[in-house]
Structure 1
């Protein structure tokens, strides 16, 4: 049934009509929402239904048409002014569907995206650049205020960090800082799925950073070369080290003192954050220890010692798994102590002081 529908509307039959409708009535959700949802469904590889022959161009053609729809709607809706109380139904809903469409297309496993750059096709770059423009048009407070928007955004961001990290690493500093800031906010979201997605995204980013810095000889070599446009990526973090430091504090604070419902997910980026910010982590640890009652300081120091016991300076799976086990014991010890005399939460205090 799906292939029957696909064959009916696929390029060049009716997709130009749908594209033209979006261009003409981009300001009318009654028109654009059904068209966007149709394409979001078409690119969704649910139950692996998009199984094209090896010689078939259909996967590439489908993505190109989806890219055209995203770019057309995105570039037009950016210029539409709407009342604040109507921003979601008139604007953000369509943007959310575009995010969902792009995520489904990027993660569908039916398109070889290297083909686009190999043959000079700008469909992928256009879609990704439109995503950036749409993202910057959204106040960060709205990302978590509207649940459907936050769900589609963070799912798309996780997909980009997993498979298109080179693209993220070449973004302008203000864009990358916006994304990191949104991840920091999402780590404390009430929605567990959002928080878990932020942990996965952060893990991909931190792992990429660690590989760029340490596998290429940094900081041992002054002229270490970072491939894939990573130089700009690293410069941003060198100029704003407080971003990852704050995220490290947030993750550690959640694990130690809050009701952490996704401890395993939190543990995966934490090791990389510690290894990238060892000096700051040591300061944070000492601050926490000193802030405890005198009779608790020795125990807290031992728990931190146990946390890093046997941990090497790498992000190999075996090392990560050991850190996750250590972290589980670390959190258990903290929780047991919290049941007794009060133990001070100073991670957040350090960040705000």
Structure 2
């Protein structure tokens, strides 16, 4: 069954060679799938015709076929023809499938993966005319599917641990991918949703929060596909929808911050997304605190007062990685570090004194000089020029520290334990 996706990808590419922009030829090309979908619609609408196993099998096959076709449609003209063909005539079929079989991953996985491909702005193919509402319609439809699936999957209780990923976490991971691809596709002006009272964006983001709160941080980090899709989505939300995160309940926001803190020690791609998300969050908090009128928002006050030590812990973690570990994503690590230092200046100075005091007396002057260089010419702001200068300082700090440590190896473990 899985080979059908590859087969239809090949068929789609062959079709595009000569007939990619011909709508009449497209209709003929899609006729077998069109007939199958029409039959499925009738079966779902007429319970007397309904054979569950046959319907499931047909739906799974069609979802895989369409996913292969959508993957192959890399030009704007191709995907526009496909969009007009499937929406709104046949998209209700997939929503009905989620309603009926939300607890069957054999059905939901192909449907969710189809939508993940559909909303993916691969090769900038999803470029709608300025007068077209199709970008908004596509997001609303994907949001509706995501919210429907998320709401129903949370109703399933007492899933055996050996079935947790297959029954729940895999589908949630794909939902995270759908939302991330839709949010970062650059084909929707998300400001219009709030402006016109449309809850599609808010509902999708709220469902994301409900889903992530139903998963332990241990499970997030245990499953690579889940952790990658979660942290990439979180990075996207922190970049473009930080106000939504700031307005969450403080305990919910703390959970998200805790997940970032745990992810800093993960694989490179996860760690990079964690650093980027943390950078956006810390930058937002710092800018709110630094406003000229000094009117700090209630949300920021709550965030900083609930558990300030978690930001201090992340500052220690990043410093520890930069100073003592094989840091292959040094640039990513340096971006949130400056904001963390500016938010926790007293703690950073204390940390600095403790690290220096761990050195032999004859080495303390050199270590103090290295920390001086780290903050050389750094101003108390997060402007691009200042951040770039700090990133350069981190690079020099790490290089000189590496040379310095070669003569101070016995002290490294003490310093690492102190920072941890």
TM-score, scaled relative to structure 1: 0.94
1:221 equivalent in structure 2:
none
Structure 1 residues 92-121: Cα deviation after superposition (integer angstroms, max 9, x where no partner) = 000000000000011100001111111111
The answer to whether 1:120 aligns with 2:188 is: no
SS at match of 2:272: helix
Query: Is residue 30 of structure 1 aligned with residue 114 of structure 2?
Result: no
Uncovered stretches (5+) of structure 1, i.e. residues with no partner: 219-223
**Residue aligned with 1:54, SS:** coil
- Cross-structure match for 2:402: 335
Segments ≥4 residues shifted beyond 4 Å: 345-348
The reply on whether 1:90 has 2:157 as its aligned counterpart is: no
Aligned to 2:84: 7
CA distance in structure 2 between the aligned counterparts of 1:265 and 1:170, rounded to whole angstroms: 26
Matches within 5 A, 1:313-324: 313-324=380-391
1:318, distance to aligned residue in structure 2 (A): 1.2
Query: For 2:419 and 2:208, how far apart are their aligned partners in 1?
Result: 32
| 2:155 corresponds to which of 49, 66, 79 | 79
1:278 aligns with 2:355: no
**Cα distance 1:123–1:57, how it changes in 2: closer, same or farther (>3 A)?**
same
Q: 1:216, 1:85 → 2: CA distance?
A: 54
Q: Which whole-Å CA distance do the structure 1 matches of 2:345 and 2:398 have between them?
A: 20
Aligned residues: 341
Confirm or deny: 8 A CA contact 1:209 1:234 kept in the other structure: no
Give the aligned partner of residue 202 of structure 1. Answer: 278
Measure, in 1, the Cα distance between the counterparts of 2:87 and 2:251: 38
After superposition, give the CA deviation of every residue in 1:301-352 in whole Å (9 maximum; x if it has no partner): 1111111111111111111111111111111121112222323355553355
Mapped to 2, the partners of 1:217 and 1:3 lie a distance apart of 49
The structure with the largest helix share of the pair is 2
Could you list the runs of 5+ residues in structure 2 that have no partner in the other structure? 1-77
Corresponding residue to 1:57 among 133, 157, 178: 133
Change in 2 beyond 3 A, CA 1:217/1:297:
farther
Q: Is the 8 A contact 2:352 2:371 kept in 1?
A: yes
> Shift of the alpha carbon at 1:203?
0.8
| Equivalent residue number for residue 175 of structure 1 | 252
CA displacement at 1:2 relative to structure 2: 2.5
Matching residue of 2:210: 133
Counterpart among 145, 165, 183 of residue 222 in structure 2: 145
CA RMSD of aligned residues (A): 1.3
Q: Which structure has the larger Rg?
A: 2
TM-score, with length taken from structure 2: 0.79
What is the alpha-carbon distance in structure 2 between the residues aligned to residue 59 and residue 3 of structure 1? 11
Asked if 1 retains the 8 angstrom alpha-carbon contact of 2:136 and 2:188, the reply is yes
- Bigger mean CA deviation after superposition, 156-165 or 78-87: 78-87
Q: Which residue of 1 aligns with 2:366?
A: 299
Which of 332, 335, 342 is 1:265 aligned to?
332
CA distance in 2, matches of 1:346, 1:72: 52
| Residue of structure 2 in register with 1:249 after alignment | 316
Contact 2:289 2:296 in 1 (8 A): no
Summarize the alignment of residues 232-243 of structure 1 with structure 2, pairs less than 5 Å apart. Answer: 232-243=299-310
Q: What's the counterpart of residue 35 of structure 2?
A: none
Q: Structure 1: how far apart are the matches of 2:247 and 2:418?
A: 32
Instruction: Find the residue that maps to 1:344 and give its secondary structure.
Output: helix
Matches of 1:235 and 1:178, distance apart in 2: 14
